[in-house]
Amino acid sequence: MDAAQSPQSGGIVLSGMRPTGRLHIGRWLGALRNWIRLQRERRCFFFIADWHVLTTRQEDTDDVQRNVLDMMIDFLSAGLDPEQAVIFRQSAIKEHAELHLLFSMIIPTPWLLRNPTIKEQARELGLVQSDDDTALTTVNYGLLGYPVLQAADILIYKASGVPVGIDQVPHIELTREIARRFNHLYRPVFPEPEALLTEAQKVPGTDGRKMSASYNNAVFLSDPPQVIEQKLSRMMTDPRRVRRTDPGEPFDCPAFNLHRIYCTPEEIDYVMTGCRTAGIGCLECKRIMIKHVIAELGPISERRADLEARPKKVVEILERGNERARKVAAATMEEVREAMGFG
């Protein structure tokens, strides 16, 4: 049975990730683990957002194909089930591009210029220096129009819910505005999706900064247990604990953020007391957390090794997902063309 015809209640959920490299536990805890829960409760479409890579990396596409395969392997090994959810590649569904083009004809430019997320990203990339809306006129349309393509990604499947972090809420609101504008100009075709806010997990990297593959501080889902233990054993702790006998403060320790995610309440109490009294050393403390991380990621790493040995099987699964997604997208575009007079 196709996901679009599933008896699951609650409407369609859609979300995606850009294929920028192997997935680490920051993305696992922040999104993927939630997707796995949602696929059992809702009709879900999850996609590899490879076109979105071009918004910030237009000249660097050599690794996109490899990253797409890696992401699909990570999705499957983590527990996304192609029998429960439609898993597909964005660029394989050309209808996304067509709907993006049509939306770009009806959206006022000021709607894009006022988007705070785009402004922040442009500043991080060094493309703009001020908050003035006119500063964004210097960036490429791919970045400025990122929310329009995102709206097409969402609305072409008539999703009613989109799991996002708080920083992505402006994009979902813009998607709602685009849906309202289209429905007003032509006829009601699209629902107005709601942001399904996910709890923001503060996942630090091994150096204390935000976990990121580009910082070389990440623990990947593909890491075997011995590598996980090696990385997390060296993870930065409270700088006050220079010597074993120096007391520390858990809330100033990057590693403690992982304790709060993975450890039991009793273990957290033990760690907090031991840290503040210097009753335990940092390595002993981290080992309490490490065993839980390995217990969760170990099976994922094993499944991933099996899938890596069968890349053709992974590609076949992705192609089946593409076909299922394409049928839904094509049906929506028939409605859109007819509503706009192009049918």
CATH number of residue 253's parent domain:
1.10.240.10
pLDDT tens across 14-34, in order? 999 999 889 999 999 989 999
Q: Write out residues in the chain with pLDDT < 50, as ranges.
A: 1-8
* Sequence-ordered list of residues with C-beta below 8 angstroms from that of 43, at least 6 positions apart, any chain: 3, 4, 6, 8, 10, 11, 12, 13
pLDDT value at residue 138 = 66
Same domain, 198 and 265: no
Same domain, 159 and 242: no
pLDDT value at residue 272 = 96
Same domain, 252 and 271: yes
Q: Which range marks the domain in which residue 31 is found?
A: 3-203+311-340
Same domain, 263 and 286: yes
In a domain, 135, yes or no: yes
In a domain, 236, yes or no: yes
Please identify which residue in the block is written with the tokens 């990396």. Answer: 57
Query: Which residues, in sequence order, are bridge partners of residue 48?
Result: 17, 89
pLDDT value at residue 2 = 43
Same domain, 15 and 100: yes
Query: Which residues, in sequence order, are bridge partners of residue 13?
Result: 44, 161
Structure-block tokens of residue 17: 């990730």
Structure-block tokens of residue 23: 């997935």
pLDDT value at residue 140 = 78
pLDDT value at residue 300 = 93
In a domain, 283, yes or no: yes
**29: DSSP letter:** I
In a domain, 269, yes or no: yes
Same domain, 248 and 192: no
Same domain, 27 and 57: yes
Same domain, 81 and 179: yes
In a domain, 213, yes or no: no
Same domain, 250 and 268: yes
Residue 79, by phi and psi: left (phi above 0), alpha (psi -120 to 50) or beta? left
CA distance 9 to 161: 12
Helix (H) or strand (E) holding 332: helix 311-340
CATH number of the domain at 74, please.
Answer: 3.40.50.620
Instruction: With H, G, I as helix, E, B as strand and everything else as coil, classify residue 292.
Output: helix
Same domain, 184 and 101: yes
Q: Where are the beta strands (DSSP E) in 23-84?
A: 43-48
Same domain, 128 and 167: yes
In a domain, 61, yes or no: yes
Same domain, 28 and 144: yes
In a domain, 34, yes or no: yes
pLDDT value at residue 170 = 87
Q: How many domains does the chain have?
A: 2
In a domain, 155, yes or no: yes
